[in-house]
Amino acid sequence: KNEVEQSPQNLTAQEGEFITINCSYSVGISALHWLQQHPGGGIVSLFMLSSGKKKHGRLIATINIQEKHSSLHITASHPRDSAVYICAVRWRGSNYKLTFGKGTLLTVNP
C-alpha cells in the first residue's frame, strides 16, 4: 500500500526555535508537496519539490529521493507559524493524484 507518514503528529515550540517536520513515503514519487492548513480549513501550498532543496523566507524544504524522506524546516519560528503542516506526494506514474499524510500540528508559543 502506498503510504505517507509524518512525524511528529504534534509539535509545540517556543518562539524563535528551529522547527523540523518529517515526511516519509513508501515507493517512488514524481513530486512531493508541503502544505499549510490554518484553523478554518484553507490549505496553502508551500513547496513542490522532486529533488534537492527549496527555500522561501524562513521555510526550507529538503528531499532525499534515495531515502524516500523529506523535511520541512522553519527557522526563527513565530506564533503565526502555528498551523497544520501536511506532506503530500504524487506517486510515480500518476500525473495528478495526491496522497496526503495526516499532518503535523505545530503550535508556537510566544
Partner 1 sequence: DTGVSQDPRHKITKRGQNVTFRCDPISEHNRLYWYRQTLGQGPEFLTYFQNEAQLEKSRLLSDRFSAERPKGSFSTLEIQRTEQGDSAMYLCASSSAGGRETQYFGPGTRLLVL
Residues of the shown chain interacting with partner 1 in the complex, contacts defined by CB under 8 A: 4, 30-31, 33, 35, 40-45, 48, 50, 86, 88, 95-103
Terminal C-alpha separation, the chain:
41
Report the nearest approach of partner 1 to the CB of residue 49 (Å). 10
Report the nearest approach of partner 1 to the CB of residue 17 (Å). 24
Our CB check for partner 1 shows the closer of 14 and 45 to be 45
Our CB check for partner 1 shows the closer of 17 and 43 to be 43
Distance (Å, rounded) from C-alpha 9 to C-alpha 107?
11
Q: How many CB atoms lie within 10 A of CB 7?
A: 13
Distance (Å, rounded) from C-alpha 12 to C-alpha 3?
25
Our CB check for partner 1 shows the closer of 60 and 98 to be 98
